Amino acid sequence: MRAKPILDVHEKPKAPQWLILSLQHLFAMFGATILVPMLVGLSPAVALISSGLGTLAYLIITKGQIPAYLGSSFAFIIPITSAIALGGPGGAMVGSFLTGIVYGIVALLIKKLGYKWILNLLPPIVVGPVIIVIGLGLANVAVDMAMYENPGAHPDELVYSLKHLMVALTTLVITIGSAIFLKGIFSIIPILIGIIGGFTTAYFAGLVNFTAVKEASWIAAPDFIIPFVNYTPSISLAIIVIMVPIALVTLAEHIGDQMVLSNIVGRNFVKKPGLHRSILGDGVATIIASFIGGPPNTTYGENIGVIAITRVFSVFVVGGAAVIAISFGFIGKITALIGSVPSAVMGGVSILLFGIIASSGLRMLIESKVDFGEKRNLVIASVITVIGIGGAFLKMGDFQIPGMALAAIVGVVLNQVLPGKDKEVGQLDVLENKNDTVA
């Protein structure tokens, strides 16, 4: 028998309890949400604001029926970096906007045609390997931050630092220990605990500079990137092919989150309020982020974990976390403190986090019972992995499709054209088997 919730979806907690429960959600998403903008060169404060605004928009669009928090998407780290290199931060924002539009189009199609077509287009044999590529493709970023004083520099100019490596490894050990040994709500926030522990270690190692924190004001406007103010939007084919195909991955991740959340709460969110509404909510959140300079948003597994542990399903609690996140984005001292975190600390956390992303792709393949005894599955996974991690790209003049996007496109095509698709066990089977039993 399913355990009764402490607070159901539409129940409002009392003020003191409300604050504590909302802070739990804030802490759960905080480390990952600020890590993405720090890696790609965007403002962590803006990312907090966009995650809060996006979550509130999501709650409105889903009629206050799905208690989900939205934060920065790791799937877009490499595409955003590539888009910034190609067209500056404005180029990345245009790409994010177009990705949000794709979400809206998919939501409209699901409203008209149902959801089975999207699950057939994006089965685990395609999405699992692409997620693995996302995690492993970021491996060198994590290692560079952990090992060098100047990560991101030309390979010939990198300066190895044993001190940075020791701080990174200490951060990694603290993060792993938190994930494995801590219980309750603390087991959900190992990233935040790891950053705090690593930051403390880095301080005593002499790697932290508090000058910017001392000089920052308490209330400050973050570094928004606003169209027609900070840049003139310009749509290019290159930006489209860098950013938009990643929507294939995040859409599949979104569907997986809805499956998990439906089982936790005991309601079929795919049918009510509908998958089209939740996907539209993701799209609108990403569009909001693109208007102010934040990374694309997606539903967060960390916050789903908080809901599972606490049995607090209240959308008011999730909304409270969103309001607090928005408030934090305007506190200059907090923004400066986030900016003072050394790259070695972020490198230590990223080693685990990017590995977990890759492992989650493997987990999807296992849970979906993908049979690698079938040659078509072996071929699809192999091609996606090598193209994505190997950095293959398609270039014709100024037009270029980077490795991750190319891997996703090739995977979708192979899945459609190779024989044996009728034997495939995918998300459609898993979704129907699970959600048909949800009360």
344 pLDDT higher than 90: yes
Domain-by-domain residue ranges, the chain? 15-422
CA distance 134 to 132: 5
Query: What confidence score (pLDDT) does residue 437 get?
Result: 38
Do 130 and 361 touch, CB atoms closer than 8 A? yes
Taking only the tens place, the pLDDT of each residue in 319-339 is: 999 999 999 999 999 888 888
Rank 56-60, 259-263, 341-345 by mean pLDDT and report only the highest.
Answer: 56-60
* Top-confidence residue, 93 or 87: 93
DSSP labels for 52-119?
A: HHHHHHHHHHTTT-----EEE-GGGHHHHHHHHHHHHHHHHHHHHHHHHHHHHHHHHHHHHH-SHHHH
Instruction: Tell me the percentage of the chain whose pLDDT exceeds 70.
Output: 94
> pTM for this one?
0.83
Rank 143-157, 195-209, 365-379, 421-435 by mean pLDDT and report only the highest.
Answer: 195-209
Cα 191 to the chain's mean position, in Å? 14
Taking only the tens place, the pLDDT of each residue in 183-240 is: 877 777 888 889 999 999 999 999 999 998 999 999 998 999 999 999 999 888 888 8
Q: In whole angstroms, how far apart are CA 107 and each of 103, 180, 251? A: 6, 38, 10
Q: Which of 273, 268, 253 has the alpha carbon at shortest distance from 61?
A: 273
430 pLDDT higher than 70: no
CA distance 12 to 308: 18
Exposed e or buried b per residue across 375-410, where buried means at least 16 C-beta atoms within 10 angstroms of its C-beta:
ebbeebbebbbebbbeebeeeeeeebbbbbbbbbbb
Structure tokens at 66: 């799905």
435 pLDDT higher than 70: no
CA distance 348 to 164: 10
Do 322 and 100 touch, CB atoms closer than 8 A? no
Structure tokens at 235: 């749509």
Helix (H, G, I), strand (E, B) or coil at 424: coil
Q: In whole angstroms, how far apart are CA 226 and each of 5, 90, 220, 368? A: 42, 8, 17, 42
Rank 158-172, 189-203, 421-435 by mean pLDDT and report only the highest.
Answer: 158-172
In sequence order, which residues have a C-beta less than 8 Å from that of residue 223 and are 6 or more positions away? 43, 45, 46, 293
Structure tokens at 35: 């890590």
What is the CB neighbour count within 10 angstroms for residue 228? 8
Q: Give me the mean pLDDT over the 393-414 stretch.
A: 80
**How large is the angle between the packed helices 15-40 and 190-204, nearest 10 degrees?**
60
At residue 305 the predicted structure's pLDDT band, cuts being 50, 70 and 90, is confident
427 pLDDT higher than 70: no
Do 81 and 37 touch, CB atoms closer than 8 A? no
Q: For the chain, what's the residue count?
A: 439
Query: What confidence score (pLDDT) does residue 186 get?
Result: 79
Structure tokens at 352: 């685990």
In sequence order, which residues have a C-beta less than 8 Å from that of residue 432 and are 6 or more positions away? none
426 pLDDT higher than 70: no
What is the CB neighbour count within 10 angstroms for residue 155? 7
Instruction: Tell me the percentage of the chain whose pLDDT exceeds 90.
Output: 45
Averaged pLDDT of the chain? 88
Query: What confidence score (pLDDT) does residue 408 get?
Result: 85
DSSP labels for 143-208?
A: HHHHHBSSTTS-GGG--B-HHHHHHHHHHHHHHHHHHHH--GGGGG-HHHHHHHHHHHHHHHTT--
CA distance 12 to 22: 12
